[in-house]
Amino acid sequence: MHRQPLLPASPTSETAGGAWPWPAPPEVLLALAADWVWTMDAQFRLARMARIDGQPLPSGLEQALGVAPWDSPLFEPGHGHWRRHRRVLWSHRPFAGLELGWHRPGQPLRWFAISGMPRFDDHGRFAGYVGVAVDITARKRTEQTLREVRADLTATLRALPDLMFEVDREGTFHHVHAPRPELLLVPPQAIVGRNQRDLLPPQALRVAEQALAQAERDGHAHGYRYALQLPDGWRWFELSVARKDTAATRTPRFVVLVRDITELKRREAELSELAFYDTLTGLPNRRLLLDRIEQALLRQAREPSWCALLFIDLDDFKAINDRHGHGVGDQVLAVVAQRLRAGLRETDPLGRLAGDEFVALLPDLGEDAATARRVAQRVARTLVRMLRMPLHERPGVVPSASVGVLMFRGHHPLPALLAQADTLMYRAKDAGKGRLTLRWFGRDAPSPCPPAP
């Protein structure tokens, strides 16, 4: 049998215009604020329960009558224990928002927020409570979902070694996540509230401001790199920024992710070394060498001056390999590279062209041809003399090299220069090895040079 609702379903006819009287009747306000009413005796046993809409009690809920909530299998506390509920009820004072879970067979747990007022008899003795209950199941499920999402985010953040910041458009820090505080210039607690202009060096600050500007314009920014000098040395970082969705009246906020890419930069340098440098001698390989010479030739097109291209080839290198083994041959190549580098200016392009062939460029020898020739001849003779010194580890092994020296001025095709320098080198070999031959580009007759003393 259905009970009658605890409040009228519509305004009474006595109210003017068919509207609720003002102030609204208490039962109307109660219906807006609660779903259930209940009473409890002085021993905290539930005495009555009723739905405000007049519907009957759900099946099985009558088993909760006559016992305290913590003695009923139908209920569970909001935080896993009844201690708070007992403390609140024993206080004999009004309370609100006490959470209570209701177990329903075969259905998910249903949650209520309980509020109550103490009752006292004519002698002032505590007689129990009367109160209301609000169904908060939807809220509890939302809270649980939010807790799970937060737990996932927290676990993700803990798994990430990256630094994370929240900043506004002006560069002020509002939040810091620093799983590796040793990557910061200052302790994490000294960052919030401060501006990046006060913390970052100029170069890093420029990068950060460029990334923020792009994120404000495009919504995100990636791949901005900068270096910082920390107590343990220089470190490289990559910056990514995303704009947060905030109220239009608020200053835009940005999430900044900073990743330590020092190891990546080291590996990139190693790959670059492998791609552009000869692993045996440490000199630029053919690819990088020719590129550097081409760059020097482009400068010659703008500002011509005398230059010398040196084509250097070891004498009887095959015999060294055959007699002493390829290990000694590799050692000779490494020593020759060191001696060539020591005999040239640091800015002079030098590299291993192939096998036992080396090429060097002496740029910017001035406007006077005779002076440029003397300088090139002196450098080439010095190199030949340095290369003839025995190896320290193997005194019986004495390298020797023949050098073709090609003088030119201004821009010329590199293949043509290399071809003539190569021809000069072979003429030096034919003249007795350990020699150099010099000539001007485009002229057929080489200028004879005596052996290096």
Three-state secondary-structure class, residue 27: helix
Is it true that 21-140 and 160-266 share their CATH fold?
yes
Structure confidence at residue 393 (pLDDT):
81
Single-letter amino acid, residue 386? M
How many CB atoms are closer than 10 A to CB 421? Answer: 25
**Fold of the domain built from segment(s) 160-266:** Beta-Lactamase (3.30.450)
For 128-140, letters b (16+ CB in 10 Å) and e give: bbebbbbebeeeb
Token pair of 313 as six digits = 């080839």
Domain 277-440, what architecture?
2-Layer Sandwich (3.30)
Three-state secondary-structure class, residue 402: strand
Structure confidence at residue 34 (pLDDT):
86
Q: Would you say 311 and 425 are in contact if contact means Cβ atoms under 8 Å apart?
A: yes
Structure confidence at residue 452 (pLDDT):
41
Query: What are 228-252's pLDDT values in tens digits?
Result: 999 989 999 999 999 987 766 577 8
Structure confidence at residue 9 (pLDDT):
47
Structure confidence at residue 245 (pLDDT):
79
How many CB atoms are closer than 10 A to CB 37? Answer: 16
Counting as low any pLDDT under 70, the low residues of the chain are 1-21, 24, 27-29, 79-80, 247-249, 443-453
CA proximity to 50, closest of 9, 95, 2, 108 = 2
Non-local (6+) Cβ contacts of 363 within 8 A are 296, 299, 300, 305, 307, 348, 349
CA distance 216 to 222: 13
Query: What are 277-304's pLDDT values in tens digits?
Result: 998 999 999 999 999 999 999 999 899 9
Angle at which helices 326-342 and 369-387 cross, to 10°: 150
How many CB atoms are closer than 10 A to CB 55? Answer: 11
128 Rama sector, left if φ>0, alpha if ψ -120 to 50, beta otherwise: left
Structure confidence at residue 3 (pLDDT):
43
Handedness of CA 365, 366, 367, 373 (dihedral sign): negative
Q: DSSP string of 269-299?
A: HHHHHHHHB-TTT-SB-HHHHHHHHHHHHHH
CA proximity to 285, closest of 228, 327, 209, 337 = 337
Structure confidence at residue 125 (pLDDT):
95
Q: DSSP string of 39-103?
A: EE-TTS-EEEEEETT-PPPPTTGGGGTTS-GGG-TTEEETTS-SHHHHHHHHTTS-EEEEEEEE-
**Fold of the domain built from segment(s) 21-140:** Beta-Lactamase (3.30.450)
- The torsion angles phi and psi of 405, rounded to 5 degrees, stand at -115, 115
Q: DSSP string of 155-173?
A: HHHHH--SEEEEEETT-BE
Q: DSSP string of 202-238?
A: HHHHHHHHHHHHHHHHHSEEEEEEEEEEETTEEEEEE
CA distance 380 to 386: 10
Single-letter amino acid, residue 222? H
Angle at which helices 286-302 and 414-430 cross, to 10°: 110
Query: What are 115-128's pLDDT values in tens digits?
Result: 999 999 999 999 99
CA proximity to 281, closest of 361, 336, 342 = 336
CA distance 433 to 388: 11
How many CB atoms are closer than 10 A to CB 188? Answer: 14
Q: Would you say 251 and 243 are in contact if contact means Cβ atoms under 8 Å apart?
A: no
CA distance 41 to 34: 21
**Model-level pTM?**
0.52
Structure confidence at residue 40 (pLDDT):
95
Q: Would you say 372 and 390 are in contact if contact means Cβ atoms under 8 Å apart?
A: no
Domain ranges of the chain: 21-140, 160-266, 277-440
Three-class SS of 330-387: HHHHHHHHHHHHHCCCCCCCEEEEECCEEEEEECCCCCCHHHHHHHHHHHHHHHHHHH
By DSSP bridging, strand 436-440 and strand 401-409 are: parallel
CA distance 354 to 404: 16
